Amino acid sequence: MVAKIARLSIFTILLLWLSTGCFCRPAVAEGFTLISDAETQNYLADVLRPLFKAANLAFDPNKIYIVRDNSLNAFVSDGNNMFVHTGTLIEAKNTNELSGILAHETGHILGGHIVRQKIKIQKMRYMMLGSMIAAGAAAVSTGRGDAAMAVVLGSQSSALNSLMHYQVQEERSADESAVKLLRQTQQSPQGLLNFMNKIKQKNILSGLEENAYFRTHPLTTERMAHFKEATKSNNFGTAHKSDSEFLMIKAKLAAFLLEKDKVARMYPPTDSSAPAQYANAILAFRFGNITRALSLIDSLLLKQPTNPYFYELKGQFLFEGGQVKKSLESYKRALQLLPNNYLLQTSLAHALLESSPNKETLQYAIGLLQKSLHQVNTPFGWQLLARAYDMNKQPAASYYAAAEYSYSEDNPETAKRQLNNARKAGADKSLLLKISDLEQRIKQDKDDE
């Protein structure tokens, strides 16, 4: 009975994981934290774009998400959304390894695995319902509760085995697609082989023994053998045009997210390379040495005066270091170099709102936030826009923006009250249409539930 109860628990956890792994509204990420970084997202878009093109899939760079998690993982969800863990970016050696991982995830989209998985789970739910009915009949006919329990547990064990076998097949299919996509984009599968070896080594160090029973992926050794065989018929190299850019991103993420001692070992202060200077600038900033942080970033700017991400980071150092007005110049320069980036538009607008803006500056900030939100619907963008409208003495628009913020944060009741306040504050015809649209979205969500 203990073993059967354990199986029931595993089944429940697995089903919950699968049901929360797909998002109808990907901006709301339950169970994990998303981080935003223009440099990393643009890099990932450059790596992913040719893979999507080879797979004949529609590509949207704003559907790439960075998950703050140091484990080695990446996954996809509804609507071709791609999620990459920071641990994967930090642990990968080069772009070839990362491209292999993204090719595998693209293979899941290409194979229609997300939709098929939903259908499979729905069938399993019907199977579970049937087992409950059968259990009730067994209990009535025999007068024994343990007979009913045996029916339920037996059905759940069968359903779990069926789902996990199905997922192993999907993973094999995604591996095969990855090899094909890499060949089509003239890349080697060696990176996939190398990364699978990393996973194997981490499993060994963690004392984790892979078991063929109750797993959703083929064994690591099996996958490594597949990729090793694939390299024999693929003559493309592992070098990539974005490798130097990747090293900078890896240094940035490590410096922001890892412990100080680990970062110092990876990028010692005596290292004069650009990635090391980048990492040490961020590390100095994290621990309050703004002067050193600015000195190191200025040194990088002397070598690369048109790098928008250096200006963005300098703006962040100044802004969060309390030098708000000085940060404006850096943010503006970054936006000049990347004029359509929604994150830079939001960062500059935020700094403008904190700099005691006049009427003209407020209008500029509002325009930046509107452009940003037109590209990507972010809660922080709506929060800033609500504040900007309030500062600009536009109460109806402020209430509406606040309602959009509440809605994006899964607080529909507050959103409805704010929409009522927007109407009372004298919303014009154009704003009334937006209010009605949001009210309809809230109603639709309730109906769907």
**Tokens found for residue 187:** 């890349």
Q: How far is CA 138 from the centre of its chain?
A: 47
pTM: 0.78
Using an 8 Å Cβ cutoff, are 251 and 276 in contact?
yes
Using an 8 Å Cβ cutoff, are 242 and 46 in contact?
yes
Mean pLDDT, residues 299-307: 98
Helix, strand, coil share of the chain (percent; to 5): 75, 5, 25
Residue 143 reports pLDDT greater than 90: no
Distance CA 220, CA 224 (A): 6
Residue 168 reports pLDDT greater than 80: no
Residue 253 reports pLDDT greater than 60: yes
Give the residue from 100, 83, 88 showing the smallest Cα distance to 35: 83
Residue, of 163 and 310, whose pLDDT is higher: 310
**Beta bridge partner(s), residue 81:** 77
What is the SS3 assignment for 67? strand
Mean pLDDT, residues 196-217: 58
How is the chain split into domains, by residue range? Answer: 2-232
Using an 8 Å Cβ cutoff, are 62 and 56 in contact?
no
- Identify the burial level of 265 via C-beta atoms within 10 angstroms of its C-beta, where 0-12 means exposed, 13-18 middle and 19 or more buried: exposed
Top mean-pLDDT range of 1-15, 23-37, 53-67: 53-67
Residue 121 reports pLDDT greater than 80: no
What is the bridge-based pairing of β-strands 81-85 and 64-67?
Answer: parallel
Question: What percentage of the chain exceeds 90 in pLDDT?
Answer: 62
Distance CA 308, CA 326 (A): 16
Residue 71 reports pLDDT greater than 90: no
Using an 8 Å Cβ cutoff, are 193 and 227 in contact?
yes
Distance CA 273, CA 270 (A): 9
Distance CA 141, CA 135 (A): 10
- Identify the burial level of 314 via C-beta atoms within 10 angstroms of its C-beta, where 0-12 means exposed, 13-18 middle and 19 or more buried: buried
